[in-house]
Structure 1
Amino acid sequence: MLERERRSSITQVLLGEDNSKSPEMPWPSRKRDKGAVADKKEPDAKIAKTEEETEDKEEEEKSTKPPAGSSKSGWKNWKKAKESDSGGEESKITYCHWLLKSEPESRLEKGVDVKFSIEDLKAQPNQTTFWEGVRNYQARNFLRAMKLGQQAFFYHSNCKEPGIVGIVKIVKEAYPDHTQFDQKDPHYDSSSRKENPKWSMVDVQFVRMTKRFIPLSEIKTHHLAHKADGGPLKNMMLFSRQRLSIQPLTQEEFDFVLSLEEEKPH
């Protein structure tokens, strides 16, 4: 018996079958599943390098800070009406309306009065004019994004009581602003070239006056309330980028502000 076991052991050694101290084998290499391989990131869209934004000339509106109370007069009832109309579906967030600021009171800039109120627009032939003089890159880009037929609030700015006074519509999409080449114009830009204009403008036409003046202070009251309860004005650019003379509005922002014309002023 001992002789048999000894011979068996010798046979295992000769045949290399001794497993008492088998060398450790590395883990098999893991093949990456084709579906698990990370997709190559598409290169980010190239963003044109622009000069630093120039500050708009208009002063930041100075309004008394309203209390951050509840937006009793509109948000809940407006929300119910919207949900009823849309079957409860949330509106897709896109910028499809605009807010255009203009100064209704006389102010000289390089010897030129830059006053232009909604009454001045109504006095234009066919109640239509070009919206020129924008010298801020972001505001210019918003101008270039405007589409034919889109509506905008006409907003009286840099005055005793700023706010929304009417509605206009875009009747011609962006094209070169001629004032950038006019040395007598306060918005002349010597660095702009006709073969590659820096600045653009659109044509707007008067649609109607709002049923009442909607002051900035009232809009701000709703904005503060909506920041707390998630209402449509929570991210309104009028309060995050006050100096921009051209501002985009979502459908919800536009609809809610427009609904305020039906309410009694606070």
Structure 2
Amino acid sequence: MANWLLKTEPDVFSIDDLAAAGKQGEPWNGIRNYQARNFLREMTPGDRVLIYHSSCAEPGIVGEGEVISAPAPDPDALNPESPYYDPKSSADNNRWSVVQIRYVRHWPGVMSLKTLKAVPELENMALLRQARLSVSPVTDAEWQHLVQR
């Protein structure tokens, strides 16, 4: 089992939206960065996920989810009506992937980016080293430190 951090803009898709999706979860789609896509392709069912709200008044970790599917080709890449359409992708060569994520729980409050940056044990966390990456790994030690706070 691995641990991941997934960023989302809450005005587009929030942890509340993920919770509302129920047990079937929601596809984590629209990833259009190769490094983030490669991390997405490493995910397996049962992996734990931290949900991070970005581009909002208080960016930070707001809760947890779980990966419930293996990576699959992102159908939005082939749909010209989708904002995630990629004209360079084809049915034979879809450059992008998607996984299904299920809600686990809200955290009692936001663990803000400011708070995360102030914790010495998290100084090497991928989120803090590559702030613009929408999918990043979280080490077991980082996970334990975060969920115990």
Partner of 1:173, secondary structure, is coil
CA RMSD in angstroms comes to 1.3
Distance 1:217 1:128 in 2: 29
Task: Give the ranges of 4+ consecutive aligned residues of structure 1 lying more than 2 Å apart after TM superposition.
Answer: none
Map 1:62-211 to 2 at 5 A: 96-105=2-11, 115-126=12-23, 128-211=25-108
The answer as to whether partners of 2:117 and 2:123 remain within 8 angstroms in 1 is no
The answer as to whether partners of 1:180 and 1:190 remain within 8 angstroms in 2 is yes
Amino acid paired to 2:116: I
Q: TM-score, normalised by structure 2?
A: 0.95
Among candidates 213, 225, 233, match of residue 110 of structure 2: 213
Structure with larger RCO (C-alpha < 8 A, sep 6+): 2
The answer as to whether partners of 1:98 and 1:152 remain within 8 angstroms in 2 is yes
The answer as to whether partners of 2:29 and 2:98 remain within 8 angstroms in 1 is yes
Distance 2:125 2:131 in 1: 10
Q: TM-score, normalised by structure 1?
A: 0.54
Q: How many residues align?
A: 149
Query: Residue in 2 aligned with 1:62?
Result: none
Map 1:217-232 to 2 at 5 A: 217-222=114-119, 226=120, 231=121
Shift of 1:240: 1.2
Where structure 1 has 5 or more consecutive residues not aligned to the other structure, the ranges are 1-94, 106-114, 261-266
Query: Residue in 2 aligned with 1:34?
Result: none
Amino acid paired to 2:19: K
The answer as to whether partners of 1:130 and 1:202 remain within 8 angstroms in 2 is yes
Amino acid paired to 2:54: S
Query: Residue in 2 aligned with 1:244?
Result: 133
Shift of 1:127: 5.6
Rg larger in structure: 1
Where structure 2 has 5 or more consecutive residues not aligned to the other structure, the ranges are none
